[in-house]
């Protein structure tokens, strides 16, 4: 597959999608989004790939958000179109049936942070800076930020970040629960890869069902969500991988999961 705005690599059961417009701090244009969606479709149908890493090219940015330069002469219809474009990407990541890790190597601002929040896990370099900075250009978060950030960290802090448009550093983001872990910049890529590698060894169907339950259950009553979990465990209980996991446990060896 040929791409112009992303780098798409596959190795050791990990697919890495690198946003590749470093001259614009990896800002998302329609073309970037379409290429990421194409790569995701390729990964979806590739049984050999178990985990996705989404990151940014260069040392400076994961992504500085939606492309501000395309907003000149904006109107209601174009604003709605921009929102739909980001929603498509965020929904694809959130509903993707394999774990997606956002490797936040630098700035994750506006739509950049919103895309990272649609991923399952966020690992940050200590150099990373994050913020819902849209207010500074007279805009609001338009790719789910008012909702995903609030669900992640609660209304009090979400309002503070969205109203002030301030950037926070990686350690603050970790304390708030926006990122899972922070790694030193010089070993960041290696640490992310090690983390992803660990996930490739877990049972794929169990990961897929756990992800769906956590995501869907968050918007349901506890009773309904627990009923859904019961159905989910029914699916996982019927996998060959569960039998492999149980055998490996009793035989005191590491399991080899096949995603069946
Ligand atoms: N869109 C388009 N281009 C962008 C961009 C963006 N979001 N962010 C940075 N760039 C471009 C700059 O225009 C610059 O290009 P030129 O050299 O051609 O002018 C290049 O990337 C490097 O940026 P800077 O020179 O500004 O770099 P800096 O180190 O001085 O500052 C920064 C870095 C603080 C991140 C600054 O670039 C910045 O504030 N960027 C905007 C961040 C932002 O507000 N993002 C939200 C976008 S709106 C959005 O995402 C809406 C939504 O909810 C979907």
* Residue 56 Cβ contacting ligand 1 at under 6 Å: no
Would 211 be classed as within a structural domain?
A: yes
Claim to verify: residue 188 and residue 229 sit in the same structural domain: no
Q: Name the CA radius of gyration of the chain, rounded.
A: 19
Query: Which of 200, 218, 242 delimits the end of a domain?
Result: 200
Quick check: 181 pLDDT over 90?
yes
pLDDT band at 1 (very low <50, low <70, confident <90, very high): confident
Tokens of 236: 């996982």
Residue 253 CA: distances (Å) to CA of 42, 248, 249? 33, 5, 6
Quick check: 76 pLDDT over 90?
yes
Would 143 be classed as within a structural domain?
A: yes
Give the DSSP letter of residue 239: S
Rounded Cα gap, residues 258 and 25, in angstroms: 38
The secondary structure of the chain in percent helix, strand, coil, rounded to multiples of 5, reads 55, 15, 30
Q: What is the CATH number of the domain that holds 25?
A: 3.90.226.10
* Residue 25 Cβ contacting ligand 1 at under 6 Å: yes
Q: What is the CATH number of the domain that holds 212?
A: 1.10.12.10
Claim to verify: residue 158 and residue 208 sit in the same structural domain: no
Would 258 be classed as within a structural domain?
A: no
Counting ligand 1 atoms within 8 A of each CB, the residue from 68, 127, 129 with the most, and so the one to mutate, is 68
Model pLDDT for residues 209-251, shown as the tens digit of each residue: 999 999 999 999 999 999 999 999 999 999 999 999 999 999 9
Would 104 be classed as within a structural domain?
A: yes
Would 260 be classed as within a structural domain?
A: no
- Mean pLDDT for 173-190 is 98
Would 257 be classed as within a structural domain?
A: no
Claim to verify: residue 153 and residue 42 sit in the same structural domain: yes
Claim to verify: residue 132 and residue 238 sit in the same structural domain: no
Model pLDDT for residues 87-110, shown as the tens digit of each residue: 999 999 999 999 999 999 999 999
Rounded Cα gap, residues 82 and 211, in angstroms: 27
* Residue 130 Cβ contacting ligand 1 at under 6 Å: no
Claim to verify: residue 210 and residue 106 sit in the same structural domain: no
Q: How many CB atoms lie within 10 A of CB 25?
A: 20
Claim to verify: residue 124 and residue 24 sit in the same structural domain: yes
Three-class SS state of 54: strand
Would 40 be classed as within a structural domain?
A: yes
Claim to verify: residue 114 and residue 47 sit in the same structural domain: yes
Contacts of 247 (CB under 8 A, 6+ apart): 255
Residue 143, classified by CB atoms within 10 Å of its CB into exposed (0-12), middle (13-18) or buried (19+), is buried
The reported pTM is 0.97
Give the pLDDT score at 254: 96
Q: How many CB atoms lie within 10 A of CB 206?
A: 19
- Mean pLDDT for 8-20 is 97
190 as an active site residue: the answer is no
Would 255 be classed as within a structural domain?
A: no
Distance 203 CA to ligand 1 centre (A): 40
Length of the chain: 260
DSSP string of 107-146? EEETHHHHHHHHSSEEEEETT-EEE-GGGGGT----SSHH
Claim to verify: residue 111 and residue 127 sit in the same structural domain: yes
Contacts of 189 (CB under 8 A, 6+ apart): 103, 105
Three-class SS state of 90: helix
Domain that holds residue 222: 204-250
Report how many domains make up the chain: 2
The residue among 96, 119, 2 whose CA lies nearest residue 50 is 96
Claim to verify: residue 164 and residue 214 sit in the same structural domain: no
Claim to verify: residue 226 and residue 107 sit in the same structural domain: no
Model pLDDT for residues 103-152, shown as the tens digit of each residue: 999 999 999 999 999 999 999 999 999 999 999 999 999 999 999 999 99
Could you tell me if 119 and 239 are in contact, meaning their C-beta atoms sit under 8 angstroms apart?
Answer: no
Claim to verify: residue 93 and residue 182 sit in the same structural domain: yes
Distance 233 CA to ligand 1 centre (A): 45
Quick check: 168 pLDDT over 90?
yes
Atom 29 of ligand 1: nearest residue by CA position: 60
Rounded Cα gap, residues 118 and 61, in angstroms: 17
Claim to verify: residue 86 and residue 155 sit in the same structural domain: yes
87 as an active site residue: the answer is no
């Amino acid at each position: 597959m040929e791409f112009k705005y992303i780098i798409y690599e596959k190795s050791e059961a990990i697919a890495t999608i690198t946003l590749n417009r470093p001259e614009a701090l990896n800002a998302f244009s329609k073309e970037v989004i379409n290429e990421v969606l194409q790569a995701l479709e390729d990964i979806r149908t590739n049984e050999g790939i178990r985990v996705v890493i989404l990151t940014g090219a260069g040392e400076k940015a994961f992504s500085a958000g939606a492309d501000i330069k395309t907003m000149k002469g904006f109107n209601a219809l174009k604003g709605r179109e921009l929102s739909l474009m980001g929603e498509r990407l965020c929904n694809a990541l959130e509903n993707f049936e394999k774990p997606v890790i956002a490797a936040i190597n630098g700035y994750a601002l506006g739509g950049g942070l919103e895309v990272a929040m649609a991923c399952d896990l966020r690992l940050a370099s200590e150099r990373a800076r994050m913020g819902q900075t849209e207010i500074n250009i007279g805009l609001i978060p338009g790719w789910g930020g008012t909702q995903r950030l609030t669900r992640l960290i609660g209304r009090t802090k979400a309002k503070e970040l969205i109203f002030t448009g301030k950037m926070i550093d990686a350690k603050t983001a970790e304390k708030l629960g926006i990122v899972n872990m922070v790694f030193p910049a010089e070993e960041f890529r290696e640490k992310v890869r090690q983390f992803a590698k660990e996930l490739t060894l877990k049972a794929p169907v169990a990961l897929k069902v756990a992800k769906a339950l956590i995501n869907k259950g968050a918007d349901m009553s506890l009773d309904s969500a627990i009923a859904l979990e019961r159905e989910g465990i029914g699916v996982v209980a019927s996998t060959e991988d569960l039998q492999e996991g149980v055998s490996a446990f009793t035989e005191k060896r590491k399991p080899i999961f096949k995603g069946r």
